[in-house]
């Protein structure tokens, strides 16, 4: 697979205007992507659970404009115009223009909303960029369609291409976004033993997953809802010249190999050890970079210690993971949902800002909501 494969042939149709709405979820990495090369190529492969409830819904309305000189678009969040979002989208458009050559032919109205509060400290870039990429892919699909009813085989090939290219485009918006289109587990980044894995787009984990991971829960504890202290771009850049970078990238390959087996066999003790180690390694990379950062807050550590104590006392298989911030993702199997939720309410909510947390569970990816 090469990038060139995503450059479309000449469009068959002209379309004056239209509108597409997609919803796309967030995801939580089990083996983390941290460090990238040029053009959003990851330094190491990663794997994530796709979430279900934390999602972005985006409508892209497009209308043909007179000239094709420059990009033209407006962005709205929950109905309010957000010019602050424009630079990020402009950068995205520039990165994907070769693959979506129609971008300068239209004016786009991009209307987006999240199911989670914007200021929750939950990254909306994964759900947001994947929803936007899917809307643009729907536009392209319409431009390419030649009204010939294709055979079933071709149709399924078309669907694969559609999802792969959407994931490819989402990656160019935000790396982790390429893991949000499908579920329940998505791998991104080439790995010797994961068939079909690619640096260019996310692929569904190719093996049968053990039943214990079905409907796995993720309760996101909102420890710090403020703006991110370190943007992901700055964060990834910290891996350049990092003294431990090469070892970390090797470790991620090993961990992906190990988690692949764990996910198939259902060994929750091994799952816990690997996932918690990955989370702490991510933060260790930040603490040992130059400049250095501590993104955990005192309450993050309080929560981690409480989880460890609860596990020791009860034999529960609850564990935690972290993204590049202070919030804690509490992961647990479906059959423990009731007891762990009670534990969260009674013992962990007190460490959250205004007692807030979000209950989520594993989901199956993006959905087309409307096309007009």
Selection from 243, 224, 239 nearest residue 352 by Cα: 224
Q: Which of 56, 164, 176, 353 binds ligand DP6 (CB under 6 A)?
A: 176
* Contacts for 368 with CB less than 8 Å, ≥ 6 apart: 20, 21, 22, 134, 138
Question: Does a cis peptide bond (omega within 30 degrees of 0) precede residue 184?
Answer: yes
Integer angstrom CA distances of residue 185 from 206, 214, 330: 9, 11, 17
Task: Give least dist CB 27 to ligand DP6, A.
Answer: 7
DSSP string, 53-115: EEEEEEEEEEEE-S--SS-EEEEEETTEE-GGGHHHHHHHHHHHTTT-TTGGGEEEEEEEEES
Decide whether 45 or 333 has the Cβ nearer to ligand DP6. Answer: 45
Is residue 323 a contact point for ligand DP6 (CB under 6 A)? Answer: yes
Pick the closer one to ligand DP6 by CB: 264 or 281.
Answer: 281
* Close Cβ partners of 34 (under 8 Å, ≥ 6 residues apart): 43, 44, 235, 236, 239, 248, 282, 285, 324
* Cα separation, 325 vs 227, whole angstroms: 10
Question: What is the rounded CA–CA span in Å between residue 360 and residue 279?
Answer: 19
Output the CA torsion 282→283→286→287 (10° steps): -140
Helix (H) or strand (E) holding 186: strand 185-188
The answer to the question of residue 263 lying near ligand DP6 (CB under 6 A) is no
Per CB under 6 A, 303 contacts ligand DP6:
no
Cβ neighbours around 71 below 10 Å, total:
17
* Residue 278 sits in the site that holds ligand DP6 (CB under 6 A): no
Measured from the CB atom, the residue of 6 and 20 that comes closer to ligand DP6 is 6
Q: Does 123 bind ligand DP6 (CB under 6 A)?
A: yes
Of 19, 22, 26, 29, the one binding ligand DP6 (CB under 6 A) is 29
- Choose one: 97-105, 174-182, 216-224, 307-315; the region binding ligand DP6 (CB under 6 A): 174-182
Site string for ligand DP6, 212-241 (x = CB under 6 A): --------------------xx--x-----
Q: Which is nearer to ligand DP6, 143 or 220 (CB)?
A: 220
Taking the complex as a whole, the smallest distance from the CB of residue 335 to ligand DP6 amounts, in Å, to 27
Residue from 45, 128, 175, 183 in contact with ligand DP6 (CB under 6 A): 175
Residue ranges in 33-92 that form contacts with ligand DP6 under rule CB under 6 A: 33-34, 40, 46
Interface stretch with ligand DP6, choices 25-33, 146-154, 245-253, 298-306 (CB under 6 A): 25-33
In the list 32, 242, 329, 361, the residue contacting ligand DP6 (rule: CB under 6 A) is 32
Question: 224 or 323: whose CB is closer to ligand DP6?
Answer: 323
Rg (CA), the chain: 21
**Pairing label, strands 106-114, 72-77:** parallel
* Token duo for residue 42: 């990851």
Q: Which of 125, 127, 130, 219 binds ligand DP6 (CB under 6 A)?
A: 125
**Applying CB under 6 A, what is the total number of residues that bind ligand DP6?**
17
Residues near ligand DP6, by CB under 6 A: 29, 32-34, 40, 46, 123, 125, 174-176, 232-233, 236, 282, 323-324
């Amino acid at each position: 697979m090469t990038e060139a494969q995503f450059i479309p042939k000449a469009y068959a149709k002209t379309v004056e205007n239209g509108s597409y709405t997609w919803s796309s979820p967030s995801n939580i990495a089990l083996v983390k992507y941290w460090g990238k090369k040029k053009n959003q190529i990851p330094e190491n492969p990663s794997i994530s659970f796709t979430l279900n409830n934390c999602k972005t819904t985006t409508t892209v309305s497009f209308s043909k404009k007179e000239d094709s000189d420059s990009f033209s678009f407006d962005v709205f969040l929950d109905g309010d115009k957000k010019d602050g979002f424009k630079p990020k989208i402009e950068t995205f458009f520039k990165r994907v223009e070769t693959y979506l050559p129609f971008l300068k032919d239209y004016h786009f109205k991009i209307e987006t909303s999240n199911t989670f509060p914007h200021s929750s400290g939950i990254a909306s870039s994964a759900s947001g960029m994947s929803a936007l990429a899917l809307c643009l892919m729907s536009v392209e699909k319409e431009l390419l369609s030649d009204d010939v009813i294709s055979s079933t085989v071709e149709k399924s090939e078309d669907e694969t291409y559609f999802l792969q290219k959407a994931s490819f485009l989402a990656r160019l918006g935000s790396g982790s976004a390429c893991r949000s289109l499908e579920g329940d587990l998505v791998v991104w980044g080439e790995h010797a033993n994961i068939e079909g894995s690619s640096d260019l787009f996310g692929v569904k984990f190719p093996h049968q997953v053990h039943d214990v991971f079905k409907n796995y829960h993720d309760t996101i504890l909102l420890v710090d809802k403020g703006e991110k202290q370190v943007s992901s771009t700055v964060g990834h850049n910290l891996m350049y010249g990092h003294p431990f970078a090469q070892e970390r990238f090797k470790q991620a390959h090993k961990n992906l190999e190990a988690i692949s087996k764990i996910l198939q066999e259902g060994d929750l003790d091994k799952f816990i050890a690997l996932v918690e180690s990955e989370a702490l390694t991510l933060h260790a990379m930040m603490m040992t970079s130059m400049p250095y950062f501590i993104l955990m807050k005192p309450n993050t550590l309080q929560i981690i210690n409480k989880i460890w104590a609860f596990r020791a006392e009860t034999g529960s298989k609850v564990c935690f993971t972290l993204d590049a911030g202070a919030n804690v993702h509490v992961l647990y199997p479906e059959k423990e949902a009731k007891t762990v939720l009670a534990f969260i309410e009674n013992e962990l909510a007190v460490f959250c800002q205004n007692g807030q947390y979000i209950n989520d569970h594993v989901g199956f990816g993006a959905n087309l909501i409307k096309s007009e």
